[in-house]
A and B are shown apart, each in its own frame.
Chain A
Amino acid sequence: MTPKLSEDVKRAIMVFIMATIVFTMLAYVAITPRPREQFFQIYVLGETGMAERYYPENNSDIIVGRVVKWYVGTTNFMGSVQYVVIKVKLANSTIKAPDDVNHVPSPAPVLLEFRKVLTNNDTWEFPFIWVMKEVVGDRGVVSPTILEINNVKIRNSHVSALRGCNLRIVFELWTYDPQSDSFVFGWRTGAEQRVAWLQMWFNATRPGTSL
């Protein structure tokens, strides 16, 4: 014969079961990290460190030897340590820009790469000082053949523009993907891929010439 439980004991057992269920759920929520949107931010600022004065005298016609100073920055909101590369490319108006939809980088030649490992919520900002050291013109086609970026001399033999107009410097954000052991344009969040890039337009001119 089984002993009959009193009403008090029955009630206590019910309360205990209910409280256990509720506290287990609370504990699970407490130890499970909340899903957050994973993304990067990339920006270019002018010489004052603000979104202004991107060109000397606010004139995008850049003369040979004229120093242009920008600040390039990126912030990691991926929720983990990330190895990032900012690829700097030189393009004209006909070279394709990066494709946001298909995540294809610009086919423009890479001038320079900046690499850094960033912790979560970390911002990396560095000065980007560039100057055209040599500009060659041939039958109206102007090409900045020697550029200097942060005291590194770079030769360009691929990109030219009619009268030096509508040249652009493209900044692309690439990240290291441990799964494929390679760099990918943009970043991967789950099954999705996203990209971030910027471009700054300018016209290359030689002293004594006007567009």
Chain B
Amino acid sequence: MLPVVVTALLAVAFSYTSSTSTSYGSPEGTDRANVEFRAAILAVREAETAGADEGQLRILTEQLNSVLWMIERAERLALQGDLEGAAVQADRSVEVSKGVVLEASRVRDGASLRTYYGKVLTFGMVPVASLLVTAITHFGWKWRRRHELDRLMRMEIKGVKEPEEET
């Protein structure tokens, strides 16, 4: 009987702690909001490293700043004792952070694909450009040789007129 009671009490205690650990009015709540915010920053940085363009990064950064504002507001409300308001703000910040992570990964995928194609195109152009240069050099050389030969063939042996003997 005793083990059953202890287990039941432990289960109740565990369910209580797990439910309170997700309340955002508490410091743990804003902590979670901060964790999500940092994950969002890392996601945006990854997108930037992958080659995301400036406009997309600016939009993501604006969203990050709005998350920052929400977290600060949540912390202020928690300090003032408005735990419910703080929880709402922290909740919203977590949602926006998650949205930023999703959007950033989408931007990162697009950017890395674009960067990849860019690299393939750049290096793919190397043999094409080399062939072009080779062809131009080859035919240029041939033309010049032919031109030189033509010039040679057109040459005439001009007799040097000796001055007439004085009679």
Which residues of A line the B interface, CB within 8 A? 8, 11-12, 15-16, 19-20, 23-24, 27, 30-31, 80-81, 83, 115-119, 122, 176, 178, 181
**Chain B interface bracket (under 10, 10 to 19, 20 to 34, 35 or more):** 20 to 34
Residues of B within 8 A of A11 (CB): 137-138, 141
Q: How many contacts A-B (CB < 8 Å)?
A: 71
Residues of A within 8 A of B138 (CB): 8, 11-12, 15
- CB contacts (< 8 Å) of A115 on chain B: these are 68, 72
Are B130 and A23 in touch, CB under 8 angstroms? Answer: yes
Chain B neighbourhood of A30, CB < 8 A: 122
Question: Is B1 positioned at the interface, with any CB of A under 8 Å from its CB?
Answer: no
Verify if B64 is at the interface (C-beta below 8 Å from A): yes
Contacts of A181 in B (CB 8 A): 38
Is the CB–CB distance between B48 and A117 below 8 Å? no
Does A81 contact B129, Cβ atoms closer than 8 Å? no
**B48→A12 contact, CB < 8 A:** no
The residue in chain A whose Cβ has the minimal distance to the Cβ of B123 is A27
If A8-B142, A19-B134, A80-B45 touch, does A118 touch B61 (CB 8 Å cutoff)?
yes
Q: Which residues of A contact B150 (CB under 8 A)?
A: none
Q: Top 3 nearest A-B pairs by Cβ distance?
A: A19-B130, A19-B133, A16-B134
| Contacting pair A27 B134 (CB below 8 A) | no
- B133 near A81: Cβ-Cβ < 8 Å: no
Q: Which residues between 15 and 71 of chain B lie within 8 Å of chain A, taking CB atoms?
A: 38, 41-42, 44-45, 48-49, 54, 57-58, 61, 64-65, 68
What is the predominant secondary structure among interface residues of chain B facing chain A?
A: helix
Contact between B68 and A81, CB atoms less than 8 A apart: no
Closest to A182 in B: B38
Q: Please list 13 pairs of residues, one from A and one from B, whose beta carbons are closer than 8 Å in the complex, sorted by A's number.
A: A12-B138, A16-B130, A16-B131, A16-B133, A20-B127, A24-B123, A27-B122, A27-B125, A27-B126, A81-B61, A83-B41, A119-B54, A119-B61
Nearest Cβ on chain A to B142's Cβ, whole angstroms: 7
**B119: chain A residues within 8 A (beta carbon):** 31
B129 / chain A contacts, CB cutoff of 8 Å: 19, 23
Contacts of A80 in B (CB 8 A): 45, 48-49
Q: Give the Cβ gap from B41 to chain A, nearest Cβ, in Å.
A: 6
Candidates A20, A31, A81, A176; contact of B57 at CB < 8 Å = A81
Q: What are the residues of chain A within 8 A of B142 when measuring CB–CB?
A: 8
In the complex, which residues of chain A have a beta carbon less than 8 angstroms from the beta carbon of B81? none
Bound CA–CA A83/B57 (angstroms): 14
Tell me if B118 counts as interface (CB < 8 A to partner A). Answer: yes
Tell whether, in the assembled complex, residue A178 and residue B131 are in contact, meaning their CB atoms are under 8 Å apart: no
Residue of B whose beta carbon sits closest to that of A118: B61
> A12's contact among B68, B118, B137, by CB below 8 Å, is which?
B137
Whether B65 and A116, one on each chain, are in contact in the complex, defined by CB atoms closer than 8 angstroms, is yes
**CB < 8 Å: which of B41, B68, B118 contacts A31?**
B118
CB of A81 within 8 A of CB of B45, answer: yes
Residue pair B41, A117 in contact (C-beta under 8 Å) = yes
CA distance A8 to B142 in the complex (A): 9
Return the chain A residue nearest B60 by Cβ: A81
A178 to B43, CA, bound (A): 11
